[in-house]
Amino acid sequence: MRYISYILALLAGAALSFEGAIYGELGKTIGKLETSFYNFFVGSIILGLLWLFFGKGKLSYAVEAPKWTLLGGVLGVVYLTSIVISVPFVGVGITMVAVIIGQLAMSMIVEHYGWLGSKKSRINKEKILAIISMVIALVLVY
Amino acid sequence: MGILMILFTFLGGITLSAQSAINGTFSRKAGTIETTLLTFLTGTMFLAIFILFFGNGNVFAILEVPKWQLSAVFLGVLFLLFIIAAVPKIGVIATNITVIIGQLVIGIVIDNFGWFNSLVIPLDMKRYFALLFMIIALYFIYRGNKRASEETTA
For B85-109, the pLDDT digits (tens) are 998 888 888 888 888 888 888 888 8
* 3-class DSSP assignment, residue A125: helix
Q: Shortest CA distance to A83 belongs to which of A33, A28, A136, A30?
A: A33
d(CA A123, CA B66): 47
The answer to whether the CB atoms of B33 and A54 lie below 8 A apart is yes
| Mean pLDDT of all residues in B44-62 | 89
Residues A40 and A77 placed together within one structural domain of the fold: no
How much is the pLDDT for A1? 63
The answer to whether the CB atoms of A131 and B137 lie below 8 A apart is yes
The answer to whether the CB atoms of B103 and A14 lie below 8 A apart is yes
Residues A80 and A132 placed together within one structural domain of the fold: yes
CA B74, B78, B79, B80: dihedral to nearest 10 degrees? 110
Name, in order, each residue with C-beta under 8 angstroms of B73's C-beta and a sequence gap of 6 or more: A38, A39, A42, A43, A46
d(CA B60, CA A6): 38
Percent of chain B with pLDDT over 70: 97
Amino acid in the structure at residue B78: L
d(CA A118, CA B94): 12
Using pLDDT thresholds of 50, 70 and 90, give the confidence band for residue B1. low
**Which chain B residue has the Cα nearest residue A20?**
B72
> Quick check: B154 pLDDT over 60?
no
Residues A18 and A46 placed together within one structural domain of the fold: yes
Spell out which residues of chain A touch residue B105, defining contact as CB-CB under 8 Å: 13-14
Chain B interface, mutation test: which of A40, A50, A56, most B Cβ atoms within 10 Å?
A40
Residues A72 and A124 placed together within one structural domain of the fold: yes
Domains held by chain A: number: 2
Q: How many CB atoms lie within 10 A of CB B62?
A: 18
**Which chain A residue has the Cα nearest residue B92?**
A107
Amino acid in the structure at residue B35: T
Which residue from A22, A80, A102 is facing B14, i.e. has the nearest CB?
A: A102
Q: How many CB pairs under 8 A join A and B?
A: 441
Residues A45 and A77 placed together within one structural domain of the fold: no
- Among A20-29, A84-93, B14-23, the least confident range: A84-93
The answer to whether the CB atoms of A106 and B18 lie below 8 A apart is yes
Q: In whole numbers, what is the pLDDT of chain B averaged over residues? A: 87
Q: How many CB atoms lie within 10 A of CB A122?
A: 14
How much is the pLDDT for B152? 64
Using pLDDT thresholds of 50, 70 and 90, give the confidence band for residue B26. very high
Residues A69 and A23 placed together within one structural domain of the fold: no
Give the domain-ending residue among A36, A57, A78.
A57
pLDDT tens figures, B121-152: 888 888 889 889 988 988 888 888 888 777 76
How much is the pLDDT for B54? 86
Q: Residue A46 is part of which domain span?
A: 1-57
The residue extents of the domains of chain B are: 1-88, 91-154
Contact A47, B54 (CB under 8 A): no
The nearest CA of chain A is from the CA of B64 a distance in Å of 9
The answer to whether the CB atoms of A13 and B47 lie below 8 A apart is no
Using pLDDT thresholds of 50, 70 and 90, give the confidence band for residue A52. very high
Give the domain-ending residue among A41, A57, A73.
A57
How much is the pLDDT for B37? 94
Residues A123 and A84 placed together within one structural domain of the fold: yes
* 3-class DSSP assignment, residue A57: coil
Which residue from B57, B126, B137 is facing A31, i.e. has the nearest CB?
A: B57
Percent of chain A with pLDDT over 70: 99
Spell out which residues of chain B touch residue A10, defining contact as CB-CB under 8 Å: 98-99, 101-102
Q: Shortest CA distance to A46 belongs to which of B74, B68, B32, B84?
A: B74
Task: Assess: ipTM above 0.95.
Answer: no
Residues A49 and A71 placed together within one structural domain of the fold: no
